[in-house]
Structures are given as structure tokens and as C-alpha cells.
Amino acid sequence: MRLFECILLLCLIVCAVSVAFTRDLLTSIIIFMSYSLLMCLIWMILQSPDLAITEAAVGAGVTSILFFLTLKKIRAIRKEEQNEQEEG
Amino acid sequence: MSRRRDNYETSRWLRFKKWVDGETDPLSSGMDAIPVVTEGQMRERRKNLALRKAYDEELTRLSAEHADKTEIMKARGIRNFQKFYKVMSVILCLAIISVLLWTIAALPVTGGADNPANNEVAARYIEKGLQETGAVNIVTGMILDYRAFDTFGESCVLFIASCCVLVLLRLDADSKNDNIKKMIAESDDRHFEPKDDIILQKCACVLVPVIMIFGIYIVLNGHLSPGGGFSGGAVLGSGLILYLNAYGYKKMSRLFTEKVYRRTTLCALTFYCLAKSYSFFTGANHLESGIPTGTPGAILSSGLILPLNICVGLVVACTMYAFYTLFRKGGM
Amino acid sequence: MIQHLSLNIEETVAVILFGVGFTILLLHRNLIKKIMGMNIMDTATYLFLASKGYITGRAVPIVVDGVQEVSAYINPVPSGLVLTGIVVSVSTTALMLSLTIRLYERYHSLDLDEILILAKEEEQT
Amino acid sequence: MEGNMILLLPMVCPVAAGIVVLAGKMFRKDRKYLTGVSVMVLVLEFALTLWAVMSGGSLTMLRLTERLTLGLGVDEVSRLFAVLTASVWLLVGIYSVAYMSHEEEEHRFFGYYLIVVGVLMGLNFSANLITLYVFYELMTLTSLPLVLHERSKEAVRAGLKYLFYSVAGAFLALFGIFFLAGVSESLTFTAGGVLNDGALAGKEGLLLISAFCMIVGFGAKAGMFPLHGWLPTAHPVAPACASAVLSGLITKAGVLAIIRVVYYVIGADRLRGTWVQNGWILLTLLTVFMGSMLAYREPVMKKRLAYSTVSQVSYVLFGLSMLNQTAFVGALSHVVFHSVIKHALFLTAGAVIVTTGWTRVEQMRGLGQVMPKTLACYTIAALALIGIPPASGFVSKWYLASGALSSGTGVWSWAGPAVLLVSALLTAGYLLPLTIQGYFPGHDFKGEEIQKRKLAGKEPSLWMLAPIGVLAAAALLFGCFPGSLISMLQSIAASVL
Amino acid sequence: MSFVQNFPFFSIILAMFSGIISSVLSGKKARNLSLVMIAVTTALSAGTLLFCLRTGESYPYMMGHFPAPWGNEIRAGILEGVTAVFFGVVMFLAVLGGLDHTAEDVEENKLNLFYIMIDLMLSSLLALVYTNDLFTAYVFVEINTIAGCGLIMIRQKGRSMSAAIRYMIMSQLGSGLFLIGLSILYDITGHLLMSPAKESVAALAASGAYRIPMLVIMAVVGVGLAIKSGLYPFHYWIPDTYGYATPTASAVLSGLVSKGYIFLLIKIFYRVLGYDNLVSSQMVNVLYVFGITGMVMGSLHAIHETDTRRMTAYSSVAQIGYIYMGIGLGTQYGMVAAVFHIFTHSATKALLFISAVGLYEASGDKKDYVSLRGAGYRNPLAGIGFTVGSLSMVGFPMLSGFISKLLFATSALESPHKMLPTLIVLAVSTTLNAVYFLRLVITLYSRRRPEDAPIPEVKVRSSWHLRLAILCFIAVNLVLGMWSQPIVQAIADGLAMFG
């Protein structure tokens, strides 16, 4: 169990650092989502299911949805801009 | 033979002499305030900005092919700066980490039963929590009864955050401003995704009820099992979002409009506020609150915790859904 | 020191994550990355707190079978604090993301430095 | 509010009248009422000042903190300054009635003119350092509109300069006040100083620094190097009557503040023989010489007089810096004499501007044909300033020089008088050419302009001439009969040293 | 238990509740509700203050049925009462003075949201003032931050939104540091309420255990709150934030929000970490150095600004430097001076921001020096208000700024090592203040030049509420400047109760 926890913690660090260095925003959002899920697992191991369930619903769920939405919105704006440029 | 000074007019000595004579005043020079940024500087800045943009594009191209050297020379200054920036950030990161690690090394070992954190406070929550709050889940009992003021503050954080998002993203259809009308038209990004996706609808048909029931279960059993208003509310919110995605705004608006959102939030928060005020007031004045705690373990138990969980659940679900719709199209 | 850190492995990781998050929030130019950094920083603090409540060999603080011994359960206080904290961080995330959207609509950029320069120019014209 | 309320009258009355005059613009445009009211108030002010000076006593107005109060009080020094201010202000007020008819916005001028005298009275009657500081700052602010009167670009620049120099000086002084507030029981003026030896232990160095800061800071108002720059800029743009009081009385406010600080709060003994005294003497002598030198080279009349003020006020400061009785008497008497003389000179310059529009000295050739009486008054005042016996300047300079010689300050005790002598020669050099060229323009002077504009024998009106005459006569009479004034000053000097 | 003792709790809940209710009201009703609520809250705080003055002691108030180490608590004393009353008054006048501009800057159907933020801002400020629990403080710091961000970006201009996101980023950095400090503190003491935490800290200090974590806690909490209140090296967000928000928001943000954090910091220093520990740990010296740097640098920046709002904002940087310098002096008297300067600065800065509104109205809504030339004649009352505010900032006697400078200087004399630098920096900073403020005042009263752009004819008379607000602010300034003694006494008594 201890080993498993250590691996999870290591993964956390890897995720956090790769969030900083990924160029593509979509990838980094997905990495961030997996970061939240890993955190959720660690909290299960630390005997805090309350936190785990909240993190799963709020952190991994809603926060990631919001990130995706933002990205989508930005892409939509970018696309529109390109359309306008092509027309003009 | 001393060197001839042909720039006497601008020399420091003359300026000092003038100042001694009272002819100039170093302070009043700023009196005629002109814009700090002149047109030339402005142009320079724009050029720099353009240069940086160009550099970013350049970098991608450079990696693929060899460009001529002048381009690289131009870009080098910016690149050096960016390198410096990166190095600085790594150093800052390492500095913070090392200071905190140094602290950690002096802190008690994790998992020890004798750590200072595990003192009489936690002991009382565990030993008497069940009797005093009626909640089997000690964490829920703690946040909704012992430390209820914090939790009330937390709901207010959520409330005010949703207000801020409303300010930023809500677009009012009856607005007179043409600009906003244009924005409404732009923000309807529905046409970027497939409409009436049958697979999605069928899946949602199955999943939404399950998710909703799960959410309601979490909310209602907050005092008995892990979970509570916040997590359950978030699950409920995601259920609503899934439904919206599958069936579109039109169907959703039959069920859930901005009015519903506002009223639900208002009622839930008002109830929360009044209930907690009552319990704070009675507690501080050493009066009996008169709310039965019921049998521990039963669904209808633990006094105000169950209704409060429901309130929180409603607020969170509505807020999450509101966030989603506001982000999507600036309205409900 | 190293040995002590290995005993406190959760805190060590939490602190490293905190540093990474802090740096991303402060120095990354991309707004969305900044917000992620903020989230990483917050969750790192929560991890730190949660590990402080953990006691080896004890159970979840949910009363089972009427056992109300202190020695049976872990410390419930950090869990409560973290629950509150998570909601706070999701609220700020939502707020900052919506600000990002509005700024992108206006300036077509996610780079904070660039946005600031553009905003300055916009006002002067 | 406890104590003798009469002390409040000379302060409140003109301020209230000033506000009424400022507000009166909306109701009455007639300048007859305006000037009538103003002169009446000034006469009343003179009477009230005499009353207050006679009745004496003290008054506590407000307690700012436990130890710091705002209070007024009467002692010998305040008597001297108050009577001087009130009388000269009245004379200049009468002069302005005629002078200001050539300018715009008379309401504003007279309104602020009255307010400033109220504030100045408060300054003169201040019983402690905080009150003094309050009125000092108020005086800077209220006298600013007098400088800004024309509101032209130059006037604004000059006003800003005046403000910055005064304010910067005041804050340097404030630094010292903060320090002194910490090491004394109260800051109430007491001859010989009020500092608490116990609290001061170990902070002697800081005391000297703060004393020096206060001297330099308040010296800004008195036009002492290095903060003298505002005088020559502010004077030419202000109306002549405003520049007269600026250089004749408002610079003296700086002198009063320095007297209060050095002799009434810190105590002269604590400074004697220290680097502060030496630095102070050096600065004053530098200013005396530099002022005269710049005045000698200056072609514009009012600027020339302004530089002359820089130099002459530093005579006073030089006397104070000697820290002995004779020089102190010389300094205080020079305050009175210089004030009277400088007003006469500035008012003459104003009269010339009003009548002929000439501002530069070389334009004023043949002035004796235009206004012989005025020029005669000017000549008397000029001779007094140079220090030709029996006119008043001689008396004060005599005391200054003999005080310096007996001061025992080493090299300064003979260097000082030498500089004073050189400066007196320069004074003659910059003041007398006007007289000589005025009465004896030489063969080649045809006086075409005078004939063309029919200026010959065109004396200014009696409203202007009378104050100039009175002031010139005073400059002469004080020199002939200095006895009672000097004995009063000697009693002050004996009490503080 | 006397009924008056409930007042602090009532005032917090009332403010929150009116915020919640406002979400369904129209803008106008929300505005009226907000004004009434602020007035009532202020009255309640005044009641608390009177009660504490009469009994002469502070009391804890249980939020719920459980006493100190278990349940939440708030605590009321003289200093809390004075601060709460003062915050209420400034908030009321700031809202009153900016009514017209708020209505202009905010879209009509979002007006109620603006007042929700004002309400919740007030409630969080009150909670920060009264709180006796560290985690409650954290939660309300977050409310305060988000409400502040809302107030900035409600004026939906590009500049104010970019300022808002900058503000959020810096605030989140501060919150993060604050939270990690709290976590470490919880780890070594096991308490979140201030009183028991203080006991454990004292025990730890006596036994010498956990020295390094204590030091780090002080540093992290101090730096976190310093970032949020805009101390000098962390001040980059201030000029944009204060400069481009709607006037009420600028006044509230610069006058109250940053002061709330500083008050919290002082409270934590006294009520948790122990002031003596702090002094012996050299942490105060760090704050002191930052403070005096801020005093000089803020003023220097302000001199270079031509936009008056940014200039005023930079002057806030300098003034916050003053407050931290007072805290950093490490003496009881220095702390009194710092708290008094909190009041002085919030009254004066709010006055400046509000009266500047009147001047802009009279100058075609331009904000630079050149356009404001002669504005003092076009709107006399606003001109007088701005002049009074400037003079107070500069430290003109009879006004509030002078008293706080005097207090700083007198307290500096008590700490031998810091005496000379403090006095010198005070003098330098005051002179610099004078340079930029008086320059502006002269500009207000100089004649317009023919080459200046013509001013579009606008209504010159401002509305009655603006004028009333300016008059009241001037009065507050005069009161602080002339009858400061009881207030200083109350602050000293209140600080003694903290200990």
C-alpha cells in the first residue's frame, strides 16, 4: 500500500510539472484532470472519503468541465476570427 | 592646457549655477504634464509586440528549417530574456520548495497518534459528536454544527462567485446596446457541434436518472455516509449539464430557467442563513435550541444538518449548472 | 533531514506541488495555465492538510457500531477544512476562467503580458 | 478654549473679513466698498493687535494629543513682531488701494491679503512649536494666491516654486519638530529652552542634526542658501504690494521661527561651539555675499530688490547665529529696520511700474524728472539699507558687527564683519545707481520718452506716496532715536541668553 | 449575557442576508437596501463599541452551542468596535458619493449585483475585524477577494478587466501562502481558534520546540497578507486596480479592503503568534524594511504619473508602506500609530477618490493633469475636498495625516536602532508626497490655457449625495486631525485587550 501511495505521489508531481510544460492546452487540461483523479485516490488512501468524493465531483468533474468550456469558447472565437479574415 | 568644453550650455556646473541663481527649478519641470508615452514610444512598443509574435512563429519554423542568420540575431535578444525568465522561475520554485522542505523536516511525522494536531478538539468531536450533533459522519457534523460559521461563509463564497460570473458573462437579450446583441449572436456556439446526436441522447436517457439519484442519495445521506451537500450538489449539477448537452436548451428551459435558478438559490440561502442565525443566537445566549437530534443513524436525524445539506446541495447544483450555461452562451 | 522527509512523504510531495503551482501561477504567461497552477497550489495545500489528519491504522471518522473511542478514528478536523477549501477554489477558478473568456473576446490573446500592453494601447487611442 | 480670548481677535477678525470679501464678489462689484472695508479692517486690526499686546496673557485653543496643544501667548518677541506686522500691513494696505486699481481680481487680492495678516498674527502669537508650525503652513498656503495673482504661466511656475521650497523647508523642520516632541516635556516656548536632559541622553548627535534641519528648513522662508531660489522668481510676477509684504514680512516669519526654535526650544547653549553653529554661520555669510553679488548683476528692479532681501535677511540670521547678546540685538533691530526699508523700496518700484511701466533699472534714467519726491524717499531708504549714519541700517549693522567681533567664534568673528562690509559696499553699488541716474542722467540724456508720454512731474497719487513717505521717514527716525527700541531688545536678549 | 453583545453577530449576518436578498431585487431597491443596511450595521457596531467602552473589556461570542476550542467564535473589543464603526462610515460615504458614477459604469440590470458585492464586502470586512478563528478568517479573506474582484471588473472596460485578473492572481498567491501558513500552524498547535492557539504557541515558544516552523509561519502569513494588501515589492496590481475601477470601488478597495487584511495581520500577530515572539524573531525588521522602501518608492512612482487616479493609487502604495513601517517598529506605540494610520489613510484616500469624481465631472471626464487645469473653480466643493485630502496626505497640521505622522515619529524615538532611518524616510516621503499632491492642487487652481482642449459643456453642479459625501469625509478628516486623542486612547486600550 505504501509503495502504491508513493507511486501515486510521484505521478502527481509528474502531472504537475507536465502541466507547466505542455504546449497544447487541451493536453494540459486532460493532464490536470488526471492530476485531480490521482489526488482523489490519495485521499482515499488517507482515509478521507469525504474529500475524495468531493474532489472527484468538484475538482475532476466541474472544474475540468469549466476548463474544457473555456477552451472551446476560445477556439470558437478564434475560428470566427479566421472566418472573418478569410471573408475580408 | 585643459580640454575645451564646447557643451557648456548643458554642463552640470551651469545647471547648478542656474539653480543657485534661482533661474531654474528642478521641481517645477514636471508641471506641464504631458502623456508619458509619446507616439514614438508607442510605435516602438507595438513593434516589439509584433516582433515577439513574429518570434513565436519564427521559432516553430526555425525548428524545421534553417533560416538566415539576421532573423536569428533579431530574435536572440528576446530569447535571452525569455531564457532568463525561465531560469528565474525555476530558481523561485526551488527556493520556495526548499524553504518549505526545511520546515517539513522539523514538523511531526505523518500518521503519529501523538501529533499536536490530534488533541482534545478532535477527541471531543469523535467522542461526543454523535450525541451533540446526531450525525454519524463526524466530518459532516463538524462542518455543519461545530464550525458552521465557516461553512456558511463558504456558501457565500460560492454565491458571490456566481454573482461575479453573472456580471461577466450574462448577456441580456433585452439590452439596447448593439454590441451586446452582436455578442449574443456570436456566443451561441451551438452550431459548432452536432445537433440531436442520437447516441448521446440514448446514453443520457439511461445515465441522467442514475446520476440524479446518486446525487440525491449523497445529499440526503450526508450525515450518515461520506459526502454531503457539496459533493452531492456537484453530482446533481453534472447530471443537469449532461441532460442539457443531450437535449439542448429548449427542452431544458421547460425545466430550468434563470428565474428558477434565482429563486432556488435565494430560498436555499435564506433558509440556511435563518436556520444558522437561529442556532448561533440560541447558542451564544445559552438558550435551548429545541431542535431534536433524533436517533443516530436514521435518515431523519441530526437536527438541522439534513435540511442544511439539502439547501447546500440545491445551491451547489444550481450554481454549477449556471456556471456551465453562462460559459456556454451567456444566459440560461 | 532526508530520512525525516521520507517519513513525511505526503507533506514533501505537497510542498513540491505547492512550489510548482506557485511558480506557474506567478510566472507562466498563459492565463489558463496560471489558473491550473492556482488549482495545483490549492490542492497541494489540501493534500498537506489531509495528511496532517491521517493517523496510521485508524479508520474513517464515521461512527460504526457505536464505537466512540478516540483511538478508532482519524482526526476529522482537516477533512472539514479541506471540504471548505475545495469549494472556495472551484469558485475562484470559475471566476478567473470567465474573466479569461472575456479578455480573450476582447484581445484575442491568452498571454497576460500581451493583454496588459494591448489594454494600455486601447485606452490611449 | 481657556485663557485670554482677546488674543484670538487679531487672528479671527481679518480672516473672517477676508472670507467675507472673497464671498462678497457675488454681491457687490463696486470697488469703493471693497477698499473701504479692507482699509477699515486693517485699521481695526492694528487697534486689536495693540489691545492684545497690551492685555498679554495666554490662550489654549485645542489639545491635539496629550502633550501637544494649540495655544497662543504674548511675550516680548511676539509683541515686537505683532506690532511691526500690523503697522506695516496697514501702510501697505493703504498703498494697495491705489495700486490695485491697475490690476484685475481685486477681491481676491484683498481677501487673501486680509487672511494672510490674520494667519501671520497667529504665527506671531504662537505659544508653542506645534502652533507655530500650523500657522507657518497656513501662511504658506494663504499667501500662495498673492503670488499666483496673475495666474499666467510664469505666475503658476513661480507659485509652484514658492510652494515647493516652503513646503520642503517646512518638512525638513517637521523632522526636527518630531524629534523635539519626543525629548521635551512640552514644546511651549520658554526663554532658554525646554529640552529634557534625561530624555536627551545619548541623542545629542541627533539633536544637532535636527536643529540644523530646522534652521535650514525654516531658513527657506527667510531666503537662506540653499533654499533661497523662490524669492527672485516669486517677486517679479506678484503685484508690487504683495512682493513688498512677501519680502518684508513673510521672510521674517522664517526668522521668527528660527528664533523660537533656537532660543526658546533648544536653547542657545546647546548649540554654541558645535558644527551646527559653524555650518549656520557659513550658510548665512554665503547667502549675504551671494545675494548682494546677484543683486548687483541683476537688471530687473524687483528682482534686484528680491536678491537684496536674500542678502539682508541673512544679516539677521547671521546675527542670530552668533548666539550672543549684542548680535542678537543687532539681528532683531535689523528685522524691524529691514522690514520698513524694504517695504519702502518695493513700494517705490511698484509706483514706478504703475506710473511709467518701467521695470528695468536702465530704463529708469531721469526718473528724478518724473517723480522727484518718490525718488527722494527711495534714496533715504537706500541709504538706510546701506548703513550710512544716522539712518537706521547703521545702528543694526553696528550691533551685528560688534556682536560678531565679541562672539569668540574664531575665524568667523572677523570674517563675518568683513563679509558684511563687502556686502554693504555692494548694496551701495546696486541701490544708488538709480538715485544717481535718476537725478543726474548726464548730458546725453534727452528724456525723449518722458516728453513724449508727458511723464514729467507725474508723481503717484497720495494714497501711494504717503505710505512710502511714512516708511522712509521711519527708516530715518529709527536710526536717529534708536534708544527705546534697543533697550527693549536688550531686555529680550538678556532673557534668552 | 446582555443583548448588546449580540450586535457584532447581527451586523455580520445582516450584511450577508441583505446581499442574498439583493439577488432578486431591482438595482434601485438593492441600492437603497444596501445603504440602509450599512447605516444599521454601523449603528450596531457603535452599540458594540459603547458597550465595550462601558465595561472596559472584550468578550468572545460563541457562534453556535459549543465553547472555544470546539466551535466557531467571534470576539468584540474596543479596537474591533472602533474599526467596525470606522469601516462602516467610510463604506457608507464611499457608496453614497459614487452613486451616480456607479449607475453610469454598471449596466442597469446588473446594478443589483454590484450592491450584492458591496454588501458581502462589508460583511466580510466585519467578519475579518471580529473573527476569533483563523479558518473563518481564511474563508472571509476569500469572500473579500472575490467581492473586490467583482467590484473592479463590474466596470467592463478592457483595462479594468485586465486589472481584475491581475488582482485575482496576486490575491490567490497571497491566499495560498496564508493557507499553507495556517496548515503548518494547525499541525504544530492543533488549534484554529485564536485564543487556544495562542496558548499553545506560547507553550511552544517557552519550550523552544518547533522553532523553524514558527519562523516560517510568521514569514508565510506575513508575506501572504502583505501581497494581498499591496506592500511595496508586491504592489504591481495596485495602480491598475485602483485606477480603473468605478469611483466607489476605488474608494472601497483602497480605503477598506487592504486595511482589512492589515487589521487581520495585526490581529494574528497579537492574538496568535504573540508580538514578543515576532519581535524576537526579526520578522518585524523585514516588514520594516519593506515598509520604508515602499514609502519612498511609492511616492517616486506617483511623481511620474500623469493620470491622477494612478497617481493616487501609487500614493496608496506609499501609505501602506507607512502602516507596515509602524508595525515593523516593534513597539506598542508604533502599532498604535499604524492602526491610527489605517483610519487616517482610509478616510483620506476615500475622500480623494470621491472628490476626484466631482473634478472629472467638471472636466469632461478626463483624468490627466492638463485637463484638470482650473477644475477647482468649476466645481468648488470637489476642489476643496481634494485639497483637504491632499493636504492631509502631505501631513498638514490640523488634518488627520499630521497626527499619524506625529505618532509615527514619536514612536520611532522609542526604538533606538530604527529612529534615524524612520525620521529621515518620513521627512523624505512627506516631501515627495508634497511634490505630487500639491502640484496637482495648484493645477486645479490655475487658469486654463488657450491651447488646452475645450471642455464639453457638462453639468457642473454635482448631485447632492456626492456633495454630502465630500462634506462628511472632510469632517471625518478634521475630527481625526483635531480630536484624535480619544481615538488614539481607544486604539491603545484595544491593543492592550488583544495581548
DSSP labels, B50-98 = HHHHHHHHHHHHHHHSPPPHHHHHHHHHHHHHHHHHHHHHHHHHHHHHH
Q: How far apart are CA D140 and CA D147, in angstroms?
A: 10
Q: How far apart are CA E469 and CA E160, in angstroms?
A: 25
Which of B133, B151, B164 is the best mutation test for E, with the most CBs of E within 10 A? B164
Interfacial C residues in 33-92 facing B (CB < 8 Å): 51-56, 58, 60-63, 68-73, 75-81, 83-84, 86-88, 90-92
Helices E194-207, E158-189: crossing angle, 10 deg rounding: 60
Parent domain of E340: 282-499
> Does residue D201 come out as left (phi exceeding 0), alpha (psi in the -120 to 50 range) or beta?
beta
DSSP 8-state assignment for residue B136: S
Specify whether the CB–CB gap between A71 and A26 falls below 8 A.
yes
What DSSP letter does each residue of E354-388 carry, written as one string?
HHHHHHHHTTTT--BTTTTTTHHHHSHHHHHHHHH
- Residue whose grid cell is 521717514: D473
CB contact under 8 A, C54 and B112: no
Which of E157, E162, E186, E244 is the best mutation test for C, with the most CBs of C within 10 A? E162
- pLDDT score of E40 more than 90: yes
- Paired residues of E76 in beta bridges: E59
Q: Which pLDDT score, from 0 to 100, does residue E456 have?
A: 60
Residues of chain E contacting residue C21, judged by C-beta atoms under 8 Å apart? 176
Q: Which pLDDT score, from 0 to 100, does residue E180 have?
A: 92
For the sheet with D2-3, list strands across it.
D2-3, D58-63, D69-73
* Model confidence band, residue E454 (pLDDT cutoffs 50, 70, 90): low
Dump pLDDT digits (tens) for E261-271. Answer: 999 999 999 88
Which tops the pLDDT comparison, B254 or E97? Answer: E97
* Residue D448, C-beta contacts closer than 8 angstroms, at least 6 positions apart: none
Predicted TM-score (pTM) of the model is 0.87
Q: Judge whether B298 is closer than 8 Å to chain C, CB to CB.
A: no
Q: How far apart are CA E260 and CA E121, in angstroms?
A: 10
C51, C55, C121 member nearest B113 (Cβ): C55
Give the least confident one: D293-302, D448-457, E250-259.
D448-457
Give E400 to chain B, closest Cα distance, Å: 26
Specify whether the CB–CB gap between C78 and A50 falls below 8 A.
no
Which of E447, E452, E478 is the best mutation test for D, with the most CBs of D within 10 A? E447
Q: Which pLDDT score, from 0 to 100, does residue E413 have?
A: 80
Specify whether the CB–CB gap between D313 and D339 falls below 8 A.
no
Give A56 to chain B, closest Cα distance, Å: 8
Dump pLDDT digits (tens) for E13-22. Answer: 999 999 999 9
* Model confidence band, residue D200 (pLDDT cutoffs 50, 70, 90): confident
Q: Which of D170-179, D274-283, D385-394 has the highest mean pLDDT?
A: D274-283
DSSP 8-state assignment for residue B29: G
Which tops the pLDDT comparison, B14 or E339? Answer: E339
**Domains parsed from chain C with CATH numbers:** 2-124 (1.10.287.3510)
Asked if omega into D226 is within 30° of 0 (cis), the reply is yes
ipTM, two decimals: 0.84
| Domain locations along chain D | 288-497
> Is E330 domain-assigned?
yes
- For C83, D13, E17, E169, the CA distances from C38, given in Å and listed in that order, are 17, 65, 30, 8
In this prediction, residues D54-70 reach a mean pLDDT of 79
Dump pLDDT digits (tens) for D6-40. Answer: 888 888 888 888 888 887 766 666 777 778 888 88
The residue type at B86: K
Give D132 to chain E, closest Cα distance, Å: 10
- For D310, D319, D388, D492, the CA distances from D395, given in Å and listed in that order, are 20, 13, 9, 17
B172: part of which helix (H) or strand (E)?
none
Mean pLDDT, chain B cut into blocks of 10 residues (332 residues total): 52 62 48 46 63 63 53 61 76 87 85 81 84 84 87 91 88 63 60 67 90 92 84 91 83 81 91 90 83 76 85 91 85 70
- Among all residues of chain B, which has the CA nearest to that of E145? B157
What DSSP letter does each residue of B233-293 carry, written as one string?
HHHHHHHHHHHHHHHHHHHHHHH--HHHHHHHHHHHHHHHHHHHHHHHHHHHTT-------
Is chain B adjacent to chain A, meaning 3+ CB pairs within 8 angstroms? Answer: yes
Most distant CA pair in chain E, distance = 75
In this prediction, residues C33-48 reach a mean pLDDT of 92
Specify whether the CB–CB gap between E213 and B106 falls below 8 A.
yes
E72, E123, E156 member nearest B150 (Cβ): E72
Average pLDDT, chain D: 84
> Is E159 domain-assigned?
no
Total number of domains in chain A: 1
What distance lies between CA D463 and its chain's CA centroid?
A: 23
Q: Which pLDDT score, from 0 to 100, does residue C39 have?
A: 93
In this prediction, residues E273-294 reach a mean pLDDT of 86
Give the least confident one: C32-36, D52-56, D64-68, E195-199.
D64-68
Count CA atoms within 13 Å of residue D455 on its CB side: 23
Question: Residues in chain A, how many?
Answer: 88
Q: Which pLDDT score, from 0 to 100, does residue B64 have?
A: 53
Parent domain of A42: 2-87
C51, C74, C100 member nearest A70 (Cβ): C100
